[in-house]
Amino acid sequence: MSFWSRKGESADALPPLPYEPGSPEGLAARWVQWVAASGPVKNPIDDATGEHAAENQPDDVWFLAGTYGKRHERRCFVPAGRDLFLPAVNMWFYPADGPPPALDLAFLREHASGSLSIDGVAQETQEIVTPVPFTVAGARLNGVTNSKKPTPTTVWGLWKHVPALPAGEHTLWAVGTLGNGFTVDVTYRLLVSSTPAVSYPVP
C-alpha cells in the first residue's frame, strides 16, 4: 500500500517505491514522503504541540516525527489498531543517484545514537537505510527538499516499528543524536482510541 493510497489521493501521484511499502525500507521512504507532503505551517517535525499529527496519515500505519533539534512535547490521537513508525534520529540525502555516501554512513554508524521508550519501557531501534533512491515531490517549502520538484532521495536512520498499542493513554519518548551536535528530543502523549477525541491534543 502506497503512502499516497489513502482516500482522496491519486495512487500515481508519485512513482512506485523501489521497496515493498510495508518493508523497513518502504516505511522509511514513506515516512520521508509523509513529512514532505506538508508545507511549513503543518510540518510534522516542526509541530510543537501535536495539533497537526493527523495530517496526511496513510491508512495502514501512523507516523510520528522527531524534531529539528528542539525539544517538543506533543499530544495526539492514534486510531486503535494502527501500528506506529518513527525515527529516534535520521538523516536524508538529496538529490541522490545511489545509496547514502559511504563516508557519511561510516560517520553515522560510529557516532550517531538513538533510544526510544514507551510507558517507561525501553524499545530496541533498528538501523534502516534505503540504498535505492525514492522520489520525494511534496508541498512547496516542505521540510525535506523545500521544493515541489520530484527529487531522488535516500534516508538513513535508527527507527522503531511499534505494533498497535492497547487502547488508552501512552507516553512515547524518543531521543537521538547524529554525533555532530544535532540532537532530537520528543515526547508524545498518545491517546489510542477507536473514536477521535475532539479536544485532543488541547491540554
pLDDT in tens, 95-138: 999 999 999 999 999 999 999 999 999 999 999 999 999 999 99
Give pTM, 2 decimals.
0.91
CA distances from 57 to 32, 39, 93, 179 (A): 12, 14, 23, 30
The per-residue pLDDT for 11 is 36
pLDDT in tens, 102-112: 999 999 999 99
Residue 2 near residue 23, CB atoms below 8 Å: no
CA distances from 45 to 2, 8, 36, 184, 185 (A): 21, 24, 10, 10, 11
- Distance separating alpha carbons of residues 184 and 169, to the nearest angstrom: 23
- Distance separating alpha carbons of residues 82 and 68, to the nearest angstrom: 26
Q: What is the DSSP letter of 164?
A: P
